[in-house]
Amino acid sequence: MLIIRPIRAGDFESLYQIAEESGHGFTSLPVNADLLRHKIARAEASFVKVVDKPFDEGYLMVLEDTETREVVGTCAIEAAVGMEDAFYHYRLGTEVYYSEQIEVRNEVETLTLCHDYTGAAELCTLFLREPYRKGNNGRMLSRSRFLFLAQHAKRFGETVIAEMRGVSDADGHSPFYGWLQKNFLGIDFVQADYLSGLGKKAFMAEMMPRNPVYVCLLPEEAQKVIGEVHTNTRPALSLLQAEGFRCRGYVDIFDGGPTVECRLTDIRAVRESRLLTVDIGDMPESDKQFIVSNTQLANYRATSAYLCIEEKADQVVISAELAEELLLVKGDQIRILAM
């Protein structure tokens, strides 16, 4: 069985391995032991913190194979970005130039550095190791976060965003970043992305262009990838679009990948998830697969299971094995979402 749970200190080696496997552009897990230990400690503190309103909490979770007790994936939610460190984006806009004298009208796209998503919750750090990328494992890992959002909504910003990885090659070179490196930053994409992941972002404010950038003046290869996603990221984007996420004209400052957003209460999975009371016994056969989570915080658990549930039922029978892995006893509630 695959179980999603909060990360803990003993998962450090597994997290470090995942950071190495995730490759270039996976900013939220840089290969840095001190930072990864800090992320784990921050997550452990966030899961037990009393929260009146979201601030800088981070909820990092792992996917564990209960047969081998091996960590095989990660997923996370940031409560409210930009509250401690600046959270930069480019905002796509349009400037209009018109001359009545010569009867010419031009619309020019611009990129403006901004902090517009400050305070938004963020879906991030989604990674599944290669041997487990089959069936519905990836979908379960990603969508399980919506059950957590639904259950603990007050701990998160009203808007939820996700930064989609932009176009880069196998060596981590980004066509969009090339012009920025040449004219402004002077360091390569991998280094800039790594520093950003470490939280060392002062260089952005010091070296990024302070005025709007005219898209038409960028190299053609840079223009082409604005708002485009990396090939490996397309399935994740499609999943989020099905949940109601849309790009509102914001792109990443390094690789030009799109950021998508949705109000927390408008996310389809949040709206469609249900609470049911648990009974423990022999589970009836069913061909309907659900993502299932308990309603706890520090002891949050989630998995997938085939459940027999009547349309308007408020109870469900689960096996003793499933109850044990989800830390449930008879009479507890679970939150479910159809796969």
User: Contact at 8 Å (CB) between 295 and 45?
Assistant: no
Cα–Cα nearest to 26, from 123, 122, 125: 125
Amino acid identity, position 299? N
Scan for tokens 């029978």, then name that residue: 317
Q: CA 180 from chain center: how many Å?
A: 25
Retrieve residue 173's tokens.
């070179």
Q: CA 292 from chain center: how many Å?
A: 19
Residues forming a β-bridge with 65: 2, 70
Q: How far apart (Å, rounded) are the C-alpha atoms in residues 310 and 198? A: 48
Tell me whether residue 173 is one of the annotated catalytic residues.
Answer: no
- How many other C-beta atoms are found inside a 10 Å radius of the C-beta of residue 288? 11
Which stretches of the chain are assigned E, i.e. beta strand? Answer: 2-6, 58-65, 70-78, 89-99, 104-114, 121-128, 159-163, 213-214, 246-251, 258-263, 274-280, 289-294, 302-306, 315-318, 333-338
Residues taking part in catalysis = 230
